[in-house]
Amino acid sequence: MQETRGVHAGMPERRLPLRPVGRETVQDRVYRQLRDMILNGEVEPGQTITIQSLSDAFQVSAMPVREALRRLTAEQALTVVSGRSVGIPGLTRERLADLLRVRREVEPLAASWAAARIGPAELRALESLVEHMRIAADRGDGRLFVPANHDFHFTIYRAAGSATLLGIIESLWLQIGPYFHVLRASDNWHTANVAHGDVLTALRHGDAAGAAAGLRRDIEDAAATLNGLVR
């Protein structure tokens, strides 16, 4: 075998200290699954869930469930309703305005970055999701629309290629995502689909400004509708 030469050639190998890689804990798995349920709209405003029901659903003891709930409460994704049950925190106009102020900056930024990176497979997925949302809006089917809406947005945000930006957006969606169910009674879902179509067209053409503008309009339209529904 040919000897590798360079600035480090001839230096003795130094043993690194042992740092065993830990496996994902039960607490982490419960947290991640419950977090995904909130992001996908499976926990709706007004719905309460108990520690026992989650323990039964995840087939784990109460301890990892309590830890997952503690973390999600700290992230403002859940709030304690009573000693053993939690729910989605109430949405005030002040909190909605604060979320809007941040979302209208970071999410369009992700869309503009995605315009230069998104590939054919992701574009096909977005086309399918737009069609799913059209059908769901016509039916008033929140169980179909809300997860499809989440997948549409996060397909774009992941395509931006920034784990840091994605983490910020996920934190925002944990707080606002469950309220997309409330929009069912309005015409917002149809309005959102128009914006989604514009975003998709912009992404197909690598139009960063157009993708950002469509995303911003989608966010602002939803916030305006929600503002009329909350106190």
- Per DSSP, the residues of 134-191 read HHHHHHT-HHHHHHHHHHHHHHHHHHTT-HHHHHHHHHHHHHHGGGGGGGGGSSHHHH
Say if 17 falls within a structural domain.
no
pLDDT band (50, 70, 90) for residue 15:
low
Q: What is the arithmetic mean of pLDDT over 96-122?
A: 97
**Same domain membership, residue 146 and residue 190:** yes
Read off the pTM. 0.82
**Same domain membership, residue 168 and residue 200:** yes
**Same domain membership, residue 82 and residue 100:** no
Q: Where are the beta strands (DSSP E) in the chain?
A: 48-50, 79-82, 85-87
Q: Which of 38, 71, 87 is the last residue before a domain boundary?
A: 87
Say if 53 falls within a structural domain.
yes
For residues 45 and 95, the answer to whether their CB atoms sit within 8 Å is no
Whether 3 has a pLDDT exceeding 90, the answer reads no
Name 93's Cβ contacts closer than 8 Å, sequence gap at least 6: 227, 230, 231
The domain containing residue 123 runs over which residues?
93-227
4-13, 86-95, 110-119, 215-224: least confident range: 4-13
Q: Where are the beta strands (DSSP E) in 12-155?
A: 48-50, 79-82, 85-87
pLDDT band (50, 70, 90) for residue 24:
low
**Same domain membership, residue 79 and residue 102:** no
Q: Which of 50, 66, 87 is the last residue before a domain boundary?
A: 87
**Same domain membership, residue 133 and residue 77:** no
Burial class of residue 43, CB neighbours in 10 A (0-12, 13-18, 19+): buried
**Same domain membership, residue 32 and residue 143:** no
What is each CA distance from 162 to 31, 90, 103, 173, 199, in whole angstroms?
22, 30, 16, 16, 19
3 state DSSP class of 71? helix
For residues 222 and 104, the answer to whether their CB atoms sit within 8 Å is no
**Same domain membership, residue 101 and residue 32:** no
**Same domain membership, residue 107 and residue 186:** yes
Tell me the two tokens of residue 219.
């966010």
**Same domain membership, residue 111 and residue 68:** no
pLDDT of residue 74: 92
**Same domain membership, residue 69 and residue 170:** no
Within a 10 A sphere around the Cβ of 60, how many other Cβ atoms? 16
Q: What is the arithmetic mean of pLDDT over 206-228?
A: 96
Mean of per-residue pLDDT scores for the chain: 88
pLDDT of residue 143: 85
Per-residue pLDDT of 132-159, as tens digits, reads 999 999 998 888 999 999 999 999 999 9
Q: What is the CATH number of the domain that holds 200?
A: 1.20.120.530
3 state DSSP class of 49? strand
**Same domain membership, residue 97 and residue 80:** no
**Same domain membership, residue 71 and residue 118:** no
Say if 6 falls within a structural domain.
no
157 vs 163: CA distance, rounded Å: 9
Number of domains present in the structure of the chain: 2
Q: What is the CATH number of the domain that holds 70?
A: 1.10.10.10
